[in-house]
Chain A
Amino acid sequence: MDYIKVNNLSFVYDAEPVLENVAFRISAGEFVTLTGENGAAKSTLVKATLGIIKPKTGEIKIAKQNIKGKKLRVAYLPQQIASFNAGFPSTVKEFVISGRFPRSGWFKRITQHDLEHVEKSLRSVGMWEQRDKRMGALSGGQKQRVAIARMFASDPDLFILDEPTTGMDDVSRSEFYRLMSHAAHRHGKAVLMITHDAEDVKAFSDRNIHLARKQNTHWRCFSVHENTAEQSSKALENKEASGV
């Protein structure tokens, strides 16, 4: 089941074409990476897909329901979110609880079930002990882990991640990729992750979408490059294994 379907997407920045005729799909149970050189408009593509910015042309469909027939939940982790509002006056726990609001209801009381989710999410990134600390008192890497915990707390069906492992050490990075692989292949979640470490993620992901410079066109214009046959077959294996 496709969670994201993008066709013929083009984006223009200051009258300059940046993305042209981009097409891709992300299905439930897939862990897909998005790569490209610096300035290849990866973040732009993700933002346009989510509707944060308007593309020039293109058809973007995000499924309304998940594989269980319930409302599809999307979580987005922007690039370097940890550096946003560095002095934001909030505790770690308060911030992660806010991840439950879209799911539990913006105007409803936070339940014990919500708090259990929050604890589980904070523990999964090793930040439970820091729960009462102020966000501003954390290091960049810790803030990034808290932002990831907030995303986990929302228990989404579709993860859209823009370089989520920035500031993490090698061990934490591998652990994060393993978590994402588990979410996709065991729980049927869909993951689209922008990364510069495509090689490191290869062992965990199903396929890679590479934004490559278009031939015979404007130098900054990028389009989707074909996936390798090896990765496509791996994607199939993973799908079969997860039964999605």
Chain B
Amino acid sequence: MFSLFQYEFMQRAFLAIVAMSLFAPLLGVFLVLRRQSLMSDTLSHVSLAGVAFGLFIGISPNLSTIVVVILAAILLEYLRTLYRNFLEVATAILMSVGLSLALIFANTGRGKGINLDQYLFGSIVTVSQTQVILLAILAAIVLVVFVLFMRPMYVMTFDEDTAFVDGLPVRLMSTLFNVVTGVAIALMIPVAGALLVSAIMVMPASIAMRVGLTFKRVLMFSVIIGFIGMLTGLVISYESGAPASATITLVFIFVFVMTLSISKLKTTFK
């Protein structure tokens, strides 16, 4: 197995997996608990519009995506507070807007011929050194922020009103969380693909929540599951020739189904 890491592109892919597994599942745990799992999907669709817009006006798609996704993350937070009970409506609308704009930018005027395939499906084996560095920087930032703010995030995630009375700046924290999630998605899109990026965030979190007893353990397990799942998916993809991001997603789904079945069996034979 280790022979496949003799190739430079596989070494870069491995480093990208290490970096992504340090932040994507952590963000995923909070997304799931805040009932914002679909937000990652929405932001990934919006990021496609950012990519297409960047290519359309001739600037770096990385930069345009980050700007567009940050704006969308702030807008989503505003809509969340405005329509507290109908967040899925805002999420669905923003998702459609993102995809529509992406298609228009990629197929109109000077944008004709822009190929969004790489951003739709991603390719971990074509990850560049710059992308790996950016992912590593983001991983470091997210880890530091999580260590510092885990307690406030814990209380805010359980109940925002209680957190507010406890003296936390709930609105600011929530907006910053959305922005960090947005930036993470923007950086992961070329690697994981817009259609599958949410799986890398949400699936390890969902599995960890079933197996971890304490909150800290859930966070820790999500990172470990994220790393093992992505690495397994990469190896299977290399050996079989199947697309990496799709293989990684199916590995996570397999583990999720296994976890569900084991806990079901445990309950039955208790």
Contacts and interface: CB of A to CB of B under 8 A. Distances in A.
Interface of A: 47, 50-52, 74-76, 78, 81, 84-85, 87-91, 94-95, 98, 101-102, 106-107, 132, 134, 154, 160
Interface centre among A47, A81, A90 (most CB of B within 10 A): A90
A148 to B, nearest CB: 13
A88 B151 CA distance: 15
Contact of A47 (B148, B161, B166, B218): B161
26 contacts: A52-B165, A74-B165, A75-B165, A76-B161, A76-B162, A78-B161, A81-B162, A85-B33, A85-B158, A87-B209, A88-B157, A88-B158, A89-B212, A89-B213, A89-B215, A90-B214, A91-B214, A95-B158, A98-B151, A98-B154, A98-B158, A101-B151, A101-B155, A101-B166, A107-B148, A154-B166
Contacts of A52: 161, 164-165
B167 interface: yes
A89 B209 contact: yes
Interface centre among A84, A85, A89, A132 (most CB of B within 10 A): A89
Contacts of A94: 214-216
Nearest to A108: B151
Interface of B: 33, 148, 151-152, 154-155, 157-159, 161-162, 164-168, 208-209, 212-216, 218
Contacts of B33: 85, 88-89
Contacts of B215: 89-90, 94
B162 A78 contact: yes
Given A88-B33, A90-B214, A102 B159 contact: no
A123 B148 CA distance: 31
B159 A81 contact: yes
Interface centre among B154, B161, B213 (most CB of A within 10 A): B161
A51 B166 CA distance: 12
Nearest to A107: B148
Given A85-B159, A94-B214, A50 B165 contact: yes
Given A88-B33, A106-B151, A78 B159 contact: yes
Given A50-B161, A90-B214, A102-B167, 4 more contacts: A50-B165, A87-B209, A89-B208, A98-B158
Contacts of A75: 165
A115 B258 CA distance: 37
A147 B208 CA distance: 24
Contacts of A81: 159, 162
A96 to B, nearest CB: 12
Contacts of B166: 101-102, 154
Given A84-B159, A89-B215, A90-B214, A51 B151 contact: no
A4 to B, nearest CB: 13
Nearest to B205: A89
